[in-house]
Amino acid sequence: MKRIDWTSLDAAGRREALARPARRTAGDVTDAVRRIMDDVQARGGAAVMEWAVKLDGHAPRRIAITPQAVAEARNALPPADTRAIRMAAENVRLFHQATKPEDTPFVETTPGVRSRLAWRPIERAGLYVPGGSAPLFSSLLMLAIPAQAAGVTERVAVTPPSKDCGVHPAMILAAAESGLDALWLLGGAQAIAALTFGCELDDGVIEPCDKLFGPGNAYVAEAKKQATALPGGPAVDMPAGPSELMVIVDRDAAPEIAAADLLSQAEHDADAQVILVSTSRATIDYILTEVEAQVSTLPREAIARASLEEARAVLVRDLDAACEIANLYGPEHLALQVDDPEALIPSIRAAGAVFVGRHAAETLGDYAAGPSHVLPTDGGARTLGGVTTASFMTSMSVQMVTDEGARALAPIAARLARLEGLEAHARAADLRAAG
Protein backbone atom coordinates (compact mmCIF):
# COMPACT_ATOMS: atom_id res chain seq x y z
CA MET A 1 0.00 0.00 0.00
CA LYS A 2 1.24 3.47 -0.84
CA ARG A 3 1.57 5.73 2.21
CA ILE A 4 0.38 9.32 1.87
CA ASP A 5 0.52 12.30 4.25
CA TRP A 6 -2.56 14.30 3.26
CA THR A 7 -1.38 17.52 4.88
CA SER A 8 1.73 17.62 2.69
CA LEU A 9 -0.17 17.51 -0.62
CA ASP A 10 -1.36 20.38 -2.80
CA ALA A 11 -4.63 20.17 -4.76
CA ALA A 12 -3.05 18.32 -7.69
CA GLY A 13 -1.32 15.89 -5.34
CA ARG A 14 -4.58 15.15 -3.56
CA ARG A 15 -6.32 14.39 -6.84
CA GLU A 16 -3.51 12.04 -7.78
CA ALA A 17 -3.62 10.36 -4.37
CA LEU A 18 -7.30 9.49 -4.87
CA ALA A 19 -7.03 8.47 -8.53
CA ARG A 20 -8.67 5.23 -9.59
CA PRO A 21 -6.55 2.50 -11.23
CA ALA A 22 -5.62 3.59 -14.75
CA ARG A 23 -6.80 0.32 -16.30
CA ARG A 24 -10.44 1.23 -15.58
CA THR A 25 -10.32 3.93 -18.25
CA ALA A 26 -7.55 2.54 -20.46
CA GLY A 27 -7.98 3.10 -24.18
CA ASP A 28 -7.52 -0.57 -24.99
CA VAL A 29 -10.59 -1.40 -22.88
CA THR A 30 -12.67 1.24 -24.65
CA ASP A 31 -11.60 0.11 -28.10
CA ALA A 32 -12.07 -3.59 -27.40
CA VAL A 33 -15.58 -3.02 -26.07
CA ARG A 34 -16.49 -0.84 -29.05
CA ARG A 35 -15.51 -3.64 -31.45
CA ILE A 36 -17.73 -6.09 -29.61
CA MET A 37 -20.69 -3.73 -29.39
CA ASP A 38 -20.48 -2.78 -33.07
CA ASP A 39 -20.17 -6.42 -34.12
CA VAL A 40 -23.18 -7.56 -32.10
CA GLN A 41 -25.25 -4.66 -33.38
CA ALA A 42 -24.39 -5.64 -36.95
CA ARG A 43 -24.53 -9.45 -36.75
CA GLY A 44 -26.67 -10.25 -33.72
CA GLY A 45 -26.57 -13.75 -32.29
CA ALA A 46 -23.76 -14.96 -34.54
CA ALA A 47 -21.46 -12.27 -33.16
CA VAL A 48 -22.51 -12.97 -29.56
CA MET A 49 -21.76 -16.65 -30.14
CA GLU A 50 -18.31 -16.00 -31.59
CA TRP A 51 -17.25 -13.53 -28.90
CA ALA A 52 -18.53 -15.84 -26.16
CA VAL A 53 -16.51 -18.76 -27.49
CA LYS A 54 -13.44 -16.57 -27.90
CA LEU A 55 -13.60 -14.83 -24.52
CA ASP A 56 -15.64 -17.14 -22.26
CA GLY A 57 -14.43 -20.35 -23.85
CA HIS A 58 -18.01 -21.56 -24.34
CA ALA A 59 -21.10 -20.75 -26.39
CA PRO A 60 -23.98 -19.06 -24.52
CA ARG A 61 -26.22 -21.49 -22.68
CA ARG A 62 -29.62 -21.02 -21.08
CA ILE A 63 -30.10 -22.67 -17.68
CA ALA A 64 -33.77 -23.33 -17.00
CA ILE A 65 -34.62 -23.01 -13.31
CA THR A 66 -36.83 -26.11 -13.13
CA PRO A 67 -37.89 -27.97 -9.97
CA GLN A 68 -35.46 -30.73 -10.94
CA ALA A 69 -32.57 -28.30 -11.39
CA VAL A 70 -33.34 -26.69 -8.05
CA ALA A 71 -33.53 -30.05 -6.27
CA GLU A 72 -30.19 -31.11 -7.75
CA ALA A 73 -28.59 -27.84 -6.72
CA ARG A 74 -29.95 -28.17 -3.18
CA ASN A 75 -28.63 -31.72 -2.91
CA ALA A 76 -25.20 -30.56 -4.06
CA LEU A 77 -24.83 -28.13 -1.16
CA PRO A 78 -24.70 -28.65 2.60
CA PRO A 79 -28.01 -27.79 4.31
CA ALA A 80 -26.34 -24.90 6.14
CA ASP A 81 -25.45 -23.32 2.78
CA THR A 82 -29.00 -23.57 1.45
CA ARG A 83 -30.37 -22.09 4.69
CA ALA A 84 -27.92 -19.21 4.46
CA ILE A 85 -28.99 -18.43 0.89
CA ARG A 86 -32.64 -18.50 1.90
CA MET A 87 -32.09 -16.25 4.92
CA ALA A 88 -30.14 -13.76 2.82
CA ALA A 89 -32.89 -13.78 0.18
CA GLU A 90 -35.53 -13.14 2.82
CA ASN A 91 -33.63 -10.17 4.23
CA VAL A 92 -33.13 -8.66 0.78
CA ARG A 93 -36.81 -9.18 -0.02
CA LEU A 94 -37.96 -7.69 3.29
CA PHE A 95 -35.86 -4.55 2.87
CA HIS A 96 -36.83 -3.90 -0.75
CA GLN A 97 -40.53 -4.55 -0.26
CA ALA A 98 -40.51 -2.18 2.72
CA THR A 99 -38.76 0.56 0.74
CA LYS A 100 -40.77 0.27 -2.47
CA PRO A 101 -41.97 3.74 -3.55
CA GLU A 102 -45.71 4.34 -3.33
CA ASP A 103 -47.90 6.75 -5.26
CA THR A 104 -47.94 10.06 -3.43
CA PRO A 105 -51.08 11.84 -2.26
CA PHE A 106 -52.37 14.65 -4.45
CA VAL A 107 -50.83 18.05 -3.75
CA GLU A 108 -53.04 21.06 -4.49
CA THR A 109 -50.74 23.88 -5.60
CA THR A 110 -53.57 26.17 -6.75
CA PRO A 111 -57.27 25.74 -5.91
CA GLY A 112 -58.52 23.20 -8.46
CA VAL A 113 -55.01 22.12 -9.57
CA ARG A 114 -53.90 18.81 -8.04
CA SER A 115 -50.85 16.71 -8.89
CA ARG A 116 -49.18 13.58 -7.59
CA LEU A 117 -46.38 11.16 -8.47
CA ALA A 118 -47.31 7.70 -9.68
CA TRP A 119 -44.71 4.90 -9.74
CA ARG A 120 -44.59 2.13 -12.34
CA PRO A 121 -42.17 -0.79 -12.90
CA ILE A 122 -40.04 -0.91 -16.03
CA GLU A 123 -40.88 -3.57 -18.60
CA ARG A 124 -37.62 -5.49 -19.10
CA ALA A 125 -34.48 -5.41 -16.94
CA GLY A 126 -31.13 -6.93 -17.89
CA LEU A 127 -29.24 -8.21 -14.84
CA TYR A 128 -25.48 -8.78 -15.10
CA VAL A 129 -24.12 -11.09 -12.40
CA PRO A 130 -20.32 -11.30 -12.12
CA GLY A 131 -18.85 -14.78 -12.18
CA GLY A 132 -15.92 -16.58 -13.68
CA SER A 133 -13.23 -16.87 -10.98
CA ALA A 134 -15.85 -16.51 -8.21
CA PRO A 135 -19.58 -17.16 -8.72
CA LEU A 136 -21.17 -14.08 -7.15
CA PHE A 137 -24.63 -15.55 -6.61
CA SER A 138 -25.18 -12.85 -3.98
CA SER A 139 -25.30 -10.26 -6.77
CA LEU A 140 -28.13 -12.22 -8.37
CA LEU A 141 -30.13 -11.91 -5.13
CA MET A 142 -29.26 -8.23 -4.87
CA LEU A 143 -30.58 -7.50 -8.38
CA ALA A 144 -33.35 -9.97 -9.12
CA ILE A 145 -35.19 -9.61 -5.80
CA PRO A 146 -35.43 -5.79 -5.89
CA ALA A 147 -36.61 -6.09 -9.51
CA GLN A 148 -39.22 -8.60 -8.41
CA ALA A 149 -40.35 -6.33 -5.58
CA ALA A 150 -40.74 -3.49 -8.08
CA GLY A 151 -42.94 -5.65 -10.34
CA VAL A 152 -40.65 -5.77 -13.39
CA THR A 153 -42.37 -7.77 -16.13
CA GLU A 154 -39.27 -9.59 -17.44
CA ARG A 155 -35.90 -10.05 -15.75
CA VAL A 156 -33.10 -11.37 -17.97
CA ALA A 157 -30.09 -12.53 -15.95
CA VAL A 158 -26.66 -13.30 -17.43
CA THR A 159 -23.48 -14.54 -15.77
CA PRO A 160 -20.13 -15.79 -17.10
CA PRO A 161 -19.76 -19.57 -17.31
CA SER A 162 -17.23 -21.48 -15.25
CA LYS A 163 -14.27 -23.08 -17.01
CA ASP A 164 -16.25 -26.30 -17.54
CA CYS A 165 -19.31 -24.30 -18.76
CA GLY A 166 -21.17 -25.29 -15.65
CA VAL A 167 -23.09 -23.21 -13.14
CA HIS A 168 -22.50 -23.25 -9.42
CA PRO A 169 -25.43 -24.82 -7.53
CA ALA A 170 -25.61 -21.72 -5.32
CA MET A 171 -26.34 -19.65 -8.43
CA ILE A 172 -29.28 -21.90 -9.30
CA LEU A 173 -30.64 -21.67 -5.76
CA ALA A 174 -30.26 -17.89 -5.81
CA ALA A 175 -32.16 -17.78 -9.10
CA ALA A 176 -34.91 -19.94 -7.61
CA GLU A 177 -35.13 -17.77 -4.49
CA SER A 178 -35.43 -14.75 -6.81
CA GLY A 179 -38.24 -16.29 -8.83
CA LEU A 180 -36.29 -16.38 -12.11
CA ASP A 181 -37.30 -18.73 -14.90
CA ALA A 182 -33.87 -18.89 -16.52
CA LEU A 183 -30.27 -17.80 -16.27
CA TRP A 184 -27.98 -17.32 -19.27
CA LEU A 185 -24.34 -18.41 -19.08
CA LEU A 186 -22.87 -15.47 -20.94
CA GLY A 187 -20.42 -12.89 -19.67
CA GLY A 188 -18.35 -9.84 -20.47
CA ALA A 189 -19.06 -7.06 -22.93
CA GLN A 190 -20.74 -9.55 -25.26
CA ALA A 191 -23.40 -10.19 -22.61
CA ILE A 192 -24.05 -6.46 -22.25
CA ALA A 193 -24.27 -6.21 -26.06
CA ALA A 194 -26.80 -9.06 -26.12
CA LEU A 195 -28.95 -7.34 -23.50
CA THR A 196 -28.66 -4.05 -25.38
CA PHE A 197 -29.51 -5.13 -28.91
CA GLY A 198 -31.23 -8.45 -28.33
CA CYS A 199 -30.21 -11.59 -30.19
CA GLU A 200 -31.30 -15.05 -31.23
CA LEU A 201 -29.16 -17.86 -29.86
CA ASP A 202 -29.31 -21.64 -30.06
CA ASP A 203 -31.04 -21.89 -26.68
CA GLY A 204 -33.54 -19.09 -27.25
CA VAL A 205 -33.98 -15.37 -27.72
CA ILE A 206 -32.70 -12.55 -25.55
CA GLU A 207 -34.91 -9.52 -26.04
CA PRO A 208 -33.49 -5.96 -25.86
CA CYS A 209 -33.71 -4.63 -22.32
CA ASP A 210 -34.95 -1.23 -21.20
CA LYS A 211 -32.37 -0.86 -18.43
CA LEU A 212 -29.15 -2.67 -17.54
CA PHE A 213 -28.05 -3.43 -13.99
CA GLY A 214 -25.13 -4.97 -12.21
CA PRO A 215 -21.45 -4.72 -11.37
CA GLY A 216 -18.62 -6.09 -13.45
CA ASN A 217 -15.03 -5.70 -14.50
CA ALA A 218 -13.65 -2.80 -16.53
CA TYR A 219 -15.00 -4.29 -19.79
CA VAL A 220 -18.51 -4.72 -18.44
CA ALA A 221 -18.54 -1.21 -16.99
CA GLU A 222 -17.34 0.23 -20.31
CA ALA A 223 -19.94 -1.78 -22.25
CA LYS A 224 -22.73 -0.37 -20.07
CA LYS A 225 -21.35 3.11 -20.66
CA GLN A 226 -21.33 2.63 -24.42
CA ALA A 227 -24.77 1.00 -24.42
CA THR A 228 -26.50 3.90 -22.72
CA ALA A 229 -24.79 6.38 -25.06
CA LEU A 230 -26.45 4.79 -28.11
CA PRO A 231 -29.45 6.55 -29.68
CA GLY A 232 -32.42 4.83 -28.11
CA GLY A 233 -30.07 2.69 -26.03
CA PRO A 234 -30.98 1.27 -22.65
CA ALA A 235 -30.65 3.15 -19.41
CA VAL A 236 -28.13 1.86 -16.90
CA ASP A 237 -28.19 1.76 -13.15
CA MET A 238 -24.83 3.41 -12.43
CA PRO A 239 -21.12 3.00 -13.01
CA ALA A 240 -20.59 -0.30 -11.17
CA GLY A 241 -17.10 -1.46 -11.93
CA PRO A 242 -14.37 -3.06 -9.82
CA SER A 243 -14.96 -2.89 -6.08
CA GLU A 244 -13.85 -0.07 -3.76
CA LEU A 245 -13.61 0.28 0.01
CA MET A 246 -12.46 3.16 2.19
CA VAL A 247 -11.89 2.47 5.88
CA ILE A 248 -11.63 5.41 8.27
CA VAL A 249 -9.98 4.54 11.58
CA ASP A 250 -8.67 6.30 14.66
CA ARG A 251 -6.08 5.12 17.18
CA ASP A 252 -8.64 2.91 18.93
CA ALA A 253 -9.48 0.81 15.85
CA ALA A 254 -8.88 -2.94 15.87
CA PRO A 255 -6.05 -3.58 13.35
CA GLU A 256 -7.11 -7.15 12.57
CA ILE A 257 -10.67 -6.04 11.73
CA ALA A 258 -9.60 -3.12 9.56
CA ALA A 259 -7.09 -5.32 7.73
CA ALA A 260 -9.66 -8.05 7.17
CA ASP A 261 -12.12 -5.54 5.72
CA LEU A 262 -9.51 -4.09 3.36
CA LEU A 263 -8.60 -7.56 2.11
CA SER A 264 -12.25 -8.55 1.72
CA GLN A 265 -12.45 -6.09 -1.16
CA ALA A 266 -8.91 -6.48 -2.46
CA GLU A 267 -9.53 -10.17 -3.15
CA HIS A 268 -12.39 -9.33 -5.52
CA ASP A 269 -10.35 -8.14 -8.48
CA ALA A 270 -6.88 -6.92 -9.38
CA ASP A 271 -8.57 -3.63 -10.35
CA ALA A 272 -10.31 -3.27 -6.97
CA GLN A 273 -9.09 -0.39 -4.83
CA VAL A 274 -8.93 -0.10 -1.05
CA ILE A 275 -8.01 3.03 0.90
CA LEU A 276 -7.16 3.30 4.58
CA VAL A 277 -7.54 6.73 6.21
CA SER A 278 -6.32 7.31 9.74
CA THR A 279 -5.53 10.07 12.20
CA SER A 280 -2.71 7.94 13.65
CA ARG A 281 0.57 6.95 11.97
CA ALA A 282 1.04 4.14 14.49
CA THR A 283 -2.40 2.73 13.71
CA ILE A 284 -1.56 2.70 10.00
CA ASP A 285 1.61 0.76 10.82
CA TYR A 286 -0.30 -1.79 12.88
CA ILE A 287 -2.97 -2.28 10.22
CA LEU A 288 -0.50 -2.64 7.34
CA THR A 289 1.45 -5.21 9.34
CA GLU A 290 -1.80 -7.10 9.87
CA VAL A 291 -2.68 -6.81 6.16
CA GLU A 292 0.61 -8.48 5.26
CA ALA A 293 0.06 -11.22 7.83
CA GLN A 294 -3.45 -11.97 6.58
CA VAL A 295 -2.93 -11.67 2.82
CA SER A 296 -0.37 -14.46 2.78
CA THR A 297 -3.01 -16.87 4.07
CA LEU A 298 -5.65 -16.11 1.44
CA PRO A 299 -6.55 -18.54 -1.36
CA ARG A 300 -6.82 -15.50 -3.66
CA GLU A 301 -3.53 -14.02 -2.46
CA ALA A 302 -2.28 -13.16 -5.95
CA ILE A 303 -5.42 -11.17 -6.78
CA ALA A 304 -5.37 -9.39 -3.43
CA ARG A 305 -1.70 -8.45 -3.79
CA ALA A 306 -2.32 -7.08 -7.28
CA SER A 307 -5.12 -4.94 -5.87
CA LEU A 308 -2.92 -3.73 -3.01
CA GLU A 309 -0.56 -2.24 -5.60
CA GLU A 310 -3.28 0.40 -6.12
CA ALA A 311 -4.11 0.75 -2.42
CA ARG A 312 -3.49 3.85 -0.32
CA ALA A 313 -2.84 4.48 3.38
CA VAL A 314 -3.58 8.14 4.07
CA LEU A 315 -2.55 9.98 7.22
CA VAL A 316 -4.83 12.91 8.13
CA ARG A 317 -4.82 15.60 10.80
CA ASP A 318 -8.30 14.83 12.14
CA LEU A 319 -11.59 13.08 11.38
CA ASP A 320 -12.96 16.17 9.64
CA ALA A 321 -10.20 15.76 7.07
CA ALA A 322 -11.01 12.05 6.82
CA CYS A 323 -14.63 12.88 5.96
CA GLU A 324 -13.41 15.41 3.41
CA ILE A 325 -11.38 12.67 1.71
CA ALA A 326 -14.40 10.34 1.69
CA ASN A 327 -16.52 13.00 0.01
CA LEU A 328 -13.83 13.75 -2.57
CA TYR A 329 -13.33 10.08 -3.41
CA GLY A 330 -17.00 8.98 -3.23
CA PRO A 331 -16.27 5.34 -2.31
CA GLU A 332 -18.52 2.45 -3.18
CA HIS A 333 -18.18 1.23 0.42
CA LEU A 334 -17.20 3.34 3.43
CA ALA A 335 -16.42 1.81 6.82
CA LEU A 336 -16.30 4.04 9.90
CA GLN A 337 -14.21 2.29 12.55
CA VAL A 338 -13.74 5.10 15.04
CA ASP A 339 -14.66 5.74 18.65
CA ASP A 340 -17.94 7.56 17.85
CA PRO A 341 -18.82 6.54 14.27
CA GLU A 342 -22.38 7.84 14.31
CA ALA A 343 -21.07 11.36 14.87
CA LEU A 344 -19.41 11.26 11.45
CA ILE A 345 -22.52 10.32 9.45
CA PRO A 346 -23.84 13.90 9.04
CA SER A 347 -20.49 14.85 7.48
CA ILE A 348 -20.62 12.06 4.87
CA ARG A 349 -22.20 13.18 1.59
CA ALA A 350 -20.78 10.72 -0.95
CA ALA A 351 -20.71 6.97 -0.37
CA GLY A 352 -22.59 4.06 -1.86
CA ALA A 353 -23.01 2.35 1.50
CA VAL A 354 -21.78 3.31 4.96
CA PHE A 355 -20.88 0.69 7.57
CA VAL A 356 -21.04 2.22 11.03
CA GLY A 357 -18.81 0.83 13.76
CA ARG A 358 -16.62 -2.23 14.15
CA HIS A 359 -19.54 -4.69 14.08
CA ALA A 360 -20.88 -3.45 10.73
CA ALA A 361 -18.65 -5.51 8.47
CA GLU A 362 -18.93 -4.69 4.78
CA THR A 363 -19.24 -8.45 4.27
CA LEU A 364 -22.58 -8.42 6.12
CA GLY A 365 -23.86 -5.88 3.62
CA ASP A 366 -22.44 -7.88 0.73
CA TYR A 367 -24.53 -10.90 1.61
CA ALA A 368 -27.34 -10.64 4.06
CA ALA A 369 -28.14 -7.30 5.74
CA GLY A 370 -30.88 -6.41 3.23
CA PRO A 371 -29.92 -3.38 1.11
CA SER A 372 -28.56 -4.21 -2.33
CA HIS A 373 -24.79 -4.39 -2.57
CA VAL A 374 -24.88 -3.11 -6.17
CA LEU A 375 -23.42 0.34 -5.61
CA PRO A 376 -21.81 3.11 -7.67
CA THR A 377 -18.04 3.04 -8.19
CA ASP A 378 -15.53 5.43 -9.76
CA GLY A 379 -16.88 8.41 -7.83
CA GLY A 380 -20.47 7.83 -8.90
CA ALA A 381 -21.56 8.02 -5.26
CA ARG A 382 -21.13 11.78 -5.42
CA THR A 383 -24.33 11.99 -7.47
CA LEU A 384 -25.91 8.51 -7.45
CA GLY A 385 -27.20 5.98 -4.95
CA GLY A 386 -27.10 2.20 -5.09
CA VAL A 387 -29.70 -0.15 -6.49
CA THR A 388 -33.06 0.06 -4.73
CA THR A 389 -36.57 -0.99 -5.63
CA ALA A 390 -37.01 2.49 -7.11
CA SER A 391 -34.15 1.75 -9.53
CA PHE A 392 -36.49 -0.65 -11.33
CA MET A 393 -39.35 1.84 -11.49
CA THR A 394 -40.20 5.16 -13.09
CA SER A 395 -42.24 7.98 -11.64
CA MET A 396 -44.68 10.09 -13.62
CA SER A 397 -46.59 13.14 -12.55
CA VAL A 398 -50.38 12.97 -12.75
CA GLN A 399 -52.07 16.37 -13.04
CA MET A 400 -55.78 17.03 -12.58
CA VAL A 401 -57.32 20.45 -13.18
CA THR A 402 -60.89 21.63 -12.57
CA ASP A 403 -62.62 24.50 -14.39
CA GLU A 404 -61.84 26.70 -11.42
CA GLY A 405 -58.19 25.67 -11.49
CA ALA A 406 -57.89 26.36 -15.21
CA ARG A 407 -59.33 29.88 -14.87
CA ALA A 408 -56.87 30.60 -12.07
CA LEU A 409 -53.73 29.14 -13.61
CA ALA A 410 -54.18 29.49 -17.39
CA PRO A 411 -53.56 33.28 -17.52
CA ILE A 412 -50.29 32.81 -15.66
CA ALA A 413 -49.19 30.02 -17.97
CA ALA A 414 -50.21 32.01 -21.05
CA ARG A 415 -48.25 35.06 -19.95
CA LEU A 416 -45.15 32.98 -19.28
CA ALA A 417 -45.49 31.22 -22.65
CA ARG A 418 -45.63 34.55 -24.50
CA LEU A 419 -42.62 35.74 -22.49
CA GLU A 420 -40.75 32.80 -24.03
CA GLY A 421 -42.15 33.53 -27.49
CA LEU A 422 -44.30 30.40 -27.66
CA GLU A 423 -47.67 31.65 -28.91
CA ALA A 424 -49.23 28.24 -29.52
CA HIS A 425 -48.58 27.33 -25.91
CA ALA A 426 -50.26 30.56 -24.81
CA ARG A 427 -53.35 29.99 -26.95
CA ALA A 428 -53.76 26.44 -25.58
CA ALA A 429 -53.85 27.98 -22.10
CA ASP A 430 -56.19 30.79 -23.19
CA LEU A 431 -58.75 28.24 -24.37
CA ARG A 432 -58.83 26.72 -20.87
CA ALA A 433 -59.28 30.12 -19.25
CA ALA A 434 -62.25 30.79 -21.50
CA GLY A 435 -64.04 27.84 -19.90
Residues classed as catalytic = 332-333
Secondary structure of the chain in the HEC alphabet? Answer: CEEEEHHHCCHHHHHHHCCCCHHHHCHHHHHHHHHHHHHHHHHCHHHHHHHHHHHCCCCCEEEECCHHHHHHHHHCCCHHHHHHHHHHHHHHHHHHHHCCCCCCCCEEEECCEEEEEEEEECCEEEEECCCCCCCCHHHHHHHHHHHHHHCCCEEEEEECCCCCCCCCHHHHHHHHHCCCCEEEECCHHHHHHHHHHCEEECCEEECCCCEEECCCCHHHHHHHHHHHHCCCCCEECCCCCCCEEEEEECCCCCHHHHHHHHHHHHCCCCCCEEEEEECCHHHHHHHHHHHHHHHCCCCCHHHHHHHHCCCEEEECCCHHHHHHHHHHHCCCEEEEECCCHHHHHHHCCCCCEEEECCCCCHHHHHHCCCCCCCCCCCCHHHCCCCCCHHHHEEEEEEEEECHHHHHHHHHHHHHHHHHCCCHHHHHHHHHHHCC
